[in-house]
């Protein structure tokens, strides 16, 4: 049976290295997208709607039409993240093609198996056409399910133990990761091992 599978992009790198900017450019043309936005970055982008309650998020999850929604939650972040992931899975499974962005994953997951609805989204969401952009500064502190299910790895400048960890998981040579400069990145396909290098650039009017 032929399926229109989604992709899982693992995005790694130190703070302010360009992770969010790169993902924002990648999803610019997405028709329907939901972001886990603990730092309230995505809700500031043009065309995005800031959502702060579970009721609002669930309302969007049940809509079939286009939208760009950033969930800025408070309280128990792990519980809120679990609810967000459940809404993403519902929206992608029952209401139409969807992309999602999950920021700061080390804050809401651990190096163990992915928890709850996030684990379900990672294991079952791709075959339902959901595209997932999973972002973390330190993947050694985030869940192993996402790393193992990745379609592509996008690695920006990082340091210390993070280099060794990502080199081991992605098979990108340590020296290549060590050589990354400001706003530079390496993309690698998990299956083919095809590697691409790039650098973010900005126009005079900003990102």
Query: In this structure, what CATH number is given to the domain that contains residue 96?
Result: 3.40.50.300
Dihedrals phi, psi of 107, to nearest 5 degrees: -80, -20
Prediction pTM value: 0.95
pLDDT in tens, 141-161: 999 999 999 999 999 999 989
> Nearest Cα to 36, choosing from 93, 97, 106?
106
Judge whether 19 lies within some domain. Answer: yes
Neighbours of 164 (CB within 10 A): 13
pLDDT at 205: 44
Residue 32 in domain: yes
Instruction: Return the pLDDT at 204.
Output: 56
* Number of domains the chain contains: 1
Q: Note the pLDDT of residue 3.
A: 53
- The pLDDT of residue 171 is 94
Residue 111 lies in a domain: yes
pLDDT value of residue 2: 44
Range of the domain at 152: 8-199
Pairing label, strands 184-189, 152-156? antiparallel
**Residue among 172, 205, 203, 204 nearest 187 (CA):** 172
Q: What is the mean pLDDT of each run of 10 residues along the chain (207 residues)?
A: 79 96 96 97 97 97 96 95 98 96 96 94 94 97 94 96 96 97 97 96 63
């Amino acid at each position: 049976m032929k399926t229109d599978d989604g992709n899982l992009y693992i995005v790694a790198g130190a703070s302010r290295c360009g992770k969010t900017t790169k993902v924002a450019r990648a999803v610019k043309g997405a028709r329907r997208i939901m972001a886990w936005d603990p730092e309230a970055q995505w809700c500031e982008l043009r065309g995005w709607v800031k959502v702060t309650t579970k009721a609002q998020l669930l309302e969007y999850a049940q809509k079939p039409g286009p939208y760009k929604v950033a969930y800025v939650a408070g309280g128990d972040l792990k519980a809120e993240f679990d609810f967000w992931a459940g809404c993403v899975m519902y929206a992608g499974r029952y209401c139409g093609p969807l992309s999602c962005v999950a920021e700061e994953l080390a804050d809401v997951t651990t190096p163990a198996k992915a928890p709850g609805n996030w684990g379900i989204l990672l294991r079952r969401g791709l075959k339902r056409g959901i595209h997932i952009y999973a972002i973390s500064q330190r993947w050694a502190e985030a869940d192993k399910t996402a790393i193992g299910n990745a379609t592509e790895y996008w690695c920006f400048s990082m340091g210390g133990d993070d280099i060794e960890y990502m080199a081991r998981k992605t098979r990108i040579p340590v020296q290549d990761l060590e050589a990354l400069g400001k706003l530079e990145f390496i993309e690698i396909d998990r299956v083919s091992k095809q590697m691409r290098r790039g650098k973010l650039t900005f126009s005079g009017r900003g990102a």
